[in-house]
Amino acid sequence: MSQYLILIYDSEAAWDSASPEEIERVHAGHGVFGEKNAAALVGGNALQFTTTATTVRPEGAGGHTVTDGPFLETKEALGGYYLVEAADLDVAIDIAKGIPLFTTSGGLEVRPIQVFN
């Protein structure tokens, strides 16, 4: 079995203006997803909004620059992730298709975990 990280991108603006019922619908969807895929799930978490992010970048002289916020401006932000075990990429993609998104403009990125020997 290989491990895959499924990154969840969605609109923070849509989340920020959502009704409690809309938020509960998506949270309930994640609960159903978790139950259905319990055998494959290794971990996962939701992330706080990008306004809480801090970016750390190396400087040429060996120091670092620390700035508030994410590096990129984007309509969809990384909002959470699941770490899954799957036989191959196709199985991981099938698992990802079951993850509920808040908006249709959101998306999922499935990436294999690199193993170092």
Q: Given this model, what pLDDT does residue 24 score?
A: 94
Greatest mean pLDDT range, 11-15, 37-41, 73-77: 37-41
Q: Residue 71: pLDDT band by 50, 70, 90 thresholds?
A: low
pTM: 0.87
pLDDT in tens, 102-117: 777 789 999 999 989 8
**Above 70 in pLDDT, residue 93?**
yes
Q: What b-and-e string marks burial along 44-72, b requiring 16 or more CB atoms within 10 Å of the CB? A: beeeeebeeeeeeeeeeeeeeeeeeebee
Closest by CA position to 13, among listed 83, 96, 76, 56: 76
In the predicted model, what is the mean pLDDT of the chain? 90
pLDDT in tens, 34-49: 999 999 999 999 999 8
